[in-house]
Structure 1
Amino acid sequence: MSEASKKNILIPNSEFRIPNSEFSRRTLLLQLFLLTACGVRSLSSKRQGLVLGVVSYNAGEQTINRYAKFTRYLSEKIGVIVQLEPAFNENKALERIRNHAWSLAFAEPGLAAIAIDQHRYTPILSLQGIANLRSILVVRKDNPIVELKELQNQPLALGQPGSATGYFFPIYNLYGLTLAEIMLAPTPKTVLEWVATGKATAGALSKEELYLHSSYFSPTEFRILHTDPHEVPPGVVLVAPNVDKNLRQQIYQIMNGVPSILAQEAGYIPNSSAPDYGYMISVVKRVRAIFPDEYEHGATPLQLKPARLLDNISI
């Protein structure tokens, strides 16, 4: 037992005496054993680190650099090691969330809805979001399709399961259709690539992602076929259910008091309220009703030909 542990343990003077019998010696040894065990458990708990999870796509090194100062600051203030664990896509992030492997998660809306509703994560702060974020479906400009129902029996490119704009909202909007095939792209840029080359008739992403990546495919031009009318809420900072309640409160206080430059780099808003996820969760539940097995076991509907967007379970 360390000196620090000894200082935190009070032994009444009346009990701390030289034993004068075999019974007293055994009693004292038992007391010392129990005190030592408590000290070891205390030290072990203090040494247990936290894992901060984020989705980084292919920007692993950039993500590490972005969160380096913040994780160091949080680690110093809490007194435990805070490790950053980037996930290269939403599917991998879902696996970590299901296992409660991420103590903290800086989660975009789709992942956040699943984590809150299905895996008991608690939202504590809002991430910096894009104002009026919308999910869209795009086609090539020379494609004659003008209505969603015309995508019947057509191949569709989606983002990874967990993406609000690339996966949940488009499936929700296409409910009732049978598609020739669903293809899951690793990034929004790949969604546009598949639409540009004709591999997919339409693709799902956000407006901002369309504007960011469309220039890479010039002279091919894209047209927005459908814009979801609902604004996608900003992402949130989540805390796992296996994080101690007192530690959770400590994390919340530290993150609210962090220097503004560190909060900006990490992409969250101190002293903010978590956004309303009611509608987002309802969208996720409907999509889960369409692909229950794929969601539960971490698989994807990539091989479904055709892909029928109809309920398989009641919600």
Structure 2
Amino acid sequence: MHSRRFFLVFLLPILWLLVACDSTENTTLKKLVVGVVSYGEGARSLEQYAALKEHLGAELKSLIELEPALNEIQAIDQIERQNWDLVFAPPGLAAIAISQAQYVPLLPREGGDQERSVIVVRDDHPAMAIKDLSNTTVALGQRGSAAGYYFPVFNLYGLTLAEIKFGSTPKEVLKWINQGEVAAGALSLAELGQYRADFKDADFRILHRDSHLVPSGAVLIGPDVDNVLQTQLLDALESAAPKTKRSVGYISNAQPPDYEYLIKVVKRVQPIAQRIREKPAPIYESTVAPAP
């Protein structure tokens, strides 16, 4: 009797420990942080990515945390800190993540490689060429935007502007142009088509269209994600329902875009833009920058 009691007293703590360990193992999930640029529409982004979040969580048996950034500046900070495991990035942000933070592109986003960067004025503005913007105020997108920042800064090379204003969204850039707060503004051709309908009384004119195609955005994976999880993530993205893929705008079973030229533009713009926030703002460096 005593030996049986001793056996039970000895065995119970071991059984409790095994159950506790098993319970901890079952309730502790890996956490993956997914970053997106929401342009201030965080609630809409949460809704837009809800189905994908649920799908990835089920497929990977992980806790999926969606983290919208208000603009490219916030997104760059998160990428430089490598805080995001998976990123749904526009092209400029993708080029920075690949070249400066060791992110790896997995899949292309919708939009194709037919996008262009444009500099826009009101139709009644006297400027007829980029050189006519000298000593005026121009609006750009945030650092990190290919069409709104990197390509236009390169195209404005050699000018001194009275001031550069930085719009948090393409719509804000058009608003400033329409209200006469700036002489011109930069955004993508698609963004111009998307938002110009919001300004029914305005007539915008393209002053300059960059000759180079802007690659589409990409889905990228962080450098701290191991190879096994990379494969699992790609498989999960591929196996999502077509409606889910369309809702967040990525293309499965396709090669990611080629960012070689855009990365060159980003690198060339960095020294050109060193004094870009000054008034006046000189858009040049001490030596002439060769074309990328």
Under TM normalisation by the shorter chain, which class is it? 0.7 to 0.9
Shift of 1:93: 0.5
Once the two structures are superposed, residues 42-78 of structure 1 have per-residue CA deviations (whole angstroms, 9 ceiling, x without a partner) of: 959x733000000011221111111111111111111
Deviates more, 1:208-217 or 1:100-109: 208-217
Task: Give, as a single letter, the amino acid of the residue that structure 2 aligns with 1:305.
Answer: K
TM-score (normalised: structure 1): 0.80
User: Match for residue 169 of structure 1?
Assistant: 151
Question: Which amino acid in the other structure matches residue 280 of structure 2?
Answer: P
* One of 27, 49, 56 as aligned partner of 2:38: 56
CA distance in 2 between partners of 1:312 and 1:96 (Å)? 32
Structure 2 residue matching 1:51: 3-state secondary structure: strand
SS at match of 2:62: coil
Structure 1 runs not aligned, ≥5 long = 1-35, 295-300
Q: Deviations over 1:114-142 (max 9, x none)?
A: 00001000001111115621110011111
Equivalent residue for 2:55, pick from 60, 65, 73: 73
Deviation for aligned residue 1:245 = 1.7
The one-letter amino acid paired with 1:139 is V
1:138 and 2:138 aligned: no
**d(CA) in 2 for partners of 1:226 and 1:132?**
16
Q: Look up the match of 2:182.
A: 200
Aligned-residue identity in percent: 44
Asked if 1:119 is matched to 2:93, the reply is no
- Give the 3-state SS of the residue equivalent to 1:169 in structure 2: helix
Question: Residue 130 and residue 179 in structure 1: after superposition, are their counterparts in 2 closer, same or farther (change >3 A)?
Answer: same
Distance 1:255 1:215 in 2: 34
Alpha-carbon distance in structure 1 between the residues aligned to 2:75 and 2:264: 20
Q: Is contact 1:291-1:312 (8 Å) kept?
A: no
C-alpha separation between the residues in 2 aligned to 1:239 and 1:43? 26
Report the AA paired with residue 185 of structure 2. G
Q: CA deviation at 1:249?
A: 1.4
Which residue is equivalent to 1:209?
191
Distance 1:182 1:281 in 2: 23
Change (3 A) 1:110 1:222: same
Instruction: Give how far 1:311 is off.
Output: 3.0
Amino acid at match of 1:79: K
Question: Does residue 231 in structure 1 map to residue 205 in structure 2?
Answer: no
Residues 212-242 of structure 1 deviation map (CA, whole Å, 9 limit, x = unaligned)? 2223333231111000111111100000101
Which of residues 258, 280, 284 is equivalent to 1:306? 280
Q: Size of the alignment, in residue pairs?
A: 270
CA distance in 2, matches of 1:117, 1:304: 27
Retained in 2: the 8 A contact 1:289–1:312?
Answer: no
RMSD: 2.5
**2:241 and 2:286 mapped to 1: Cα distance?**
48
Choose which of 230, 236, 244 in structure 1 pairs with 2:226: 244
**Does residue 283 of structure 1 match 2:265?**
yes
Q: Which runs of structure 2 are paired with 1:12-23 in the superposition (5 Å)?
A: none
Q: Structure 2: any 5+ residue segments left out of the alignment?
A: 1-17
2:134 is matched with which residue? 152
